[in-house]
Amino acid sequence: MTGRGLEPVRGRPLFLFLDYDGTLVPIRRRPEDAVLSRPRREILRRLSRRTFVAVVSGRSLADIKGRIGVASVALVGNHGLEIACGARRWRHPGAEAVRGDLGRALAAVRRRLRGCPGLLVEDKGLTGSVHVRRVRPGRRAEVEAVVRDEIGRRRRTLMLTRGHCVLELRPRLAWNKGLGVRSLLAGLEAEGRPFVVYIGDDATDEDAFRVLRRDGVTIRVGGTGPTFARFRLPSVREVWVLLRRLERDLRPGP
Ligand SMILES: [Mg+2]
């Protein structure tokens, strides 16, 4: 994105939304290893003092909060199903209502795939992740079949989505990261029409690119396939070049 790309921000309040895995930190084989470095955390801290910054993730709010650790950064967790912004906390009531079904589905997946090397089943409260990155490729079809079967048994309340080497069990709701962002924006009092910058790397970010297409600038990190985003950046490294530059440009004048 060039300086000209930022020109429309003039006169409109900037709202920066950043995906975490694959956008702010490189994807790791083990999700727990995706750690934000201290210098980068400080960049987010300074940015969040100058403009609105939110991190949007498929991780649970508690997980992402521990990884960001900057109180002035708003958080959108579980693919938009939970939000923390200042003192405001919100969880999608439809997702809360089907937590029992989600817990039972995850327990069944764990039980049926016990002994599958490398499999990681993660209960994130409002959604669940079945990570197959460390599962031998030859066994991934079996994992997916089990997950599909357990979702099929609860198809009125749950659905399946896919990310990078992860199967996500989610409440069957017409909801996504983009609608979570919209809901957060609606609760804020912006002076003038918000100018939204959304950066993400994954299929789940495509929902946000679509929802936010007319609200500002959308940027897809990596990948070569079709995207709803207006711009692309090749990797996490260039995301930080952009964020550092934004941080400088937004620095208050003397
Ligand atoms: Mg991502």
Mean pLDDT of 37-45: 96
Q: Is residue 254, in this structure, part of any structural domain at all?
A: no
Question: What CATH number did the domain enclosing 134 receive?
Answer: 3.30.70.1020
Q: How many CB atoms lie within 10 A of CB 240?
A: 17
- Distance in Å, CA 91 to ligand 1 centroid: 21
* Tokens coding 69: 């650790």
Boundary-marking domain end, from 113, 146, 171? 171
- Distance in Å, CA 250 to ligand 1 centroid: 25
For 4-13, the pLDDT digits (tens) are: 334 446 678 8
Structural domains of the chain, count: 2
**Contact assessment for residue 40 and residue 56, using Cβ atoms and an 8 Å cutoff:** no
What's the pLDDT at 250? 86
33 is catalytic: no
**Contact assessment for residue 84 and residue 183, using Cβ atoms and an 8 Å cutoff:** no
- Distance in Å, CA 252 to ligand 1 centroid: 31
**What is the DSSP secondary structure assignment for residue 31, as one 8-state letter?**
G
**What is the DSSP secondary structure assignment for residue 25, as one 8-state letter?**
B
Please give the residue range of the domain that contains residue 135: 95-171
- Say whether 45 sits in a helix, a strand or coil: helix
For 63-106, the pLDDT digits (tens) are: 999 999 999 999 999 999 999 999 999 999 999 999 999 999 99
Instruction: Kindly give the interhelix angle for 236-249 and 38-50, rounded to the nearest 10 degrees.
Output: 40
User: Of 19, 63, 201, 202, which is the active-site residue?
Assistant: 19
- Distance in Å, CA 105 to ligand 1 centroid: 24
Q: Kindly report the pTM of this predicted structure.
A: 0.89
